[in-house]
Amino acid sequence: MQPNKTRILVASLVLGGAQLALAADPPAQERDRTYAKVCGFCHDAGVGPAILGRELPVAYIENVVRHGFRAMPSFRSSEIDNAALASVARWVSQSPATSAAPASPAAPATKAQ
Ligand code: HEC
């Protein structure tokens, strides 16, 4: 009896913690869909540098996405249309820093123009 109760308590604590973490994400910070589907694949996985919370200029972000930048592949308008690109660039530019990996000190926030 006792071990079962403990297990249930632990499980509900874990689940409760997960719900808390989700609830802590206010709707204003809801991910841009393009970011979630495309960019986050690399940029939230440590493949690309963190780009959120760095106030990177919108035009710079659009340019990197359209033309690529060193290891970053380019995306054509058939892959990300202009409206989606404008939206994701604005969102990335204005996004607050996240709990995701912080920008690495090796890649300082230089706003290459
Ligand atoms: C296939 C993986 C991949 C995807 C998908 C990807 N990126 Fe990147 N991105 C990279 C890598 C890797 C770099 C670093 C390039 C380098 O410095 O060599 C990068 C760099 C960047 C930079 C420059 C960051 C800086 O420090 O100046 C921006 C801006 C950027 N990406 C935006 C985006 C956006 C917006 C999307 C979604 C539309 C996206 N990336 C999708 C891999 C990716």
Instruction: Identify which of 89, 88, 35 has the alpha carbon closest to the alpha carbon of residue 58.
Output: 89
What's residue 29's pLDDT?
56
Catalytic annotation on 71?
yes
Which residue, among 61, 53, 67, 49, has the nearest Cα to 85 in the 3D structure? 61
67/77 Cα distance (integer angstroms): 11
Full-prediction pTM beyond 0.85?
no
Which fold would CATH assign to domain 31-97? Cytochrome Bc1 Complex; Chain D, domain 2 (1.10.760)
| Structural domain boundaries in the chain | 31-97
Is 105's pLDDT higher than 60?
A: no
In the residue annotation, 107 being an active-site residue is answered as: no
Across 34-42, average pLDDT: 94
Report the mean per-residue pLDDT for the chain.
Answer: 78
Active-site residue, selected from the candidate residues 72, 86, 100, 103: 72
Nearest ligand 1 atom, CA 71: 18
Can you give the pLDDT at residue 30? 76
pLDDT of residue 22: 46
Q: How far is residue 105's CA from residue 2's CA, in Å, rounded to a whole number? A: 49
pLDDT of 61 strictly over 60? yes
Give whichever of 19-28, 30-39, 51-60 has the largest mean pLDDT.
51-60
Q: What is the pLDDT of residues 41-56, one digit of tens each?
A: 999 999 999 999 999 9
Check whether 78 has a pLDDT greater than 90.
yes
Residues near ligand 1 (Cβ within 6 A): 34, 38-39, 41-43, 47-49, 51, 56, 61, 64-65, 69-73, 75, 80, 88, 92, 107
Q: Are 92 and 50 in contact (CB under 8 A)?
A: no
Give the closest residue to 38 by CA, choosing from 1, 74, 90, 12: 74
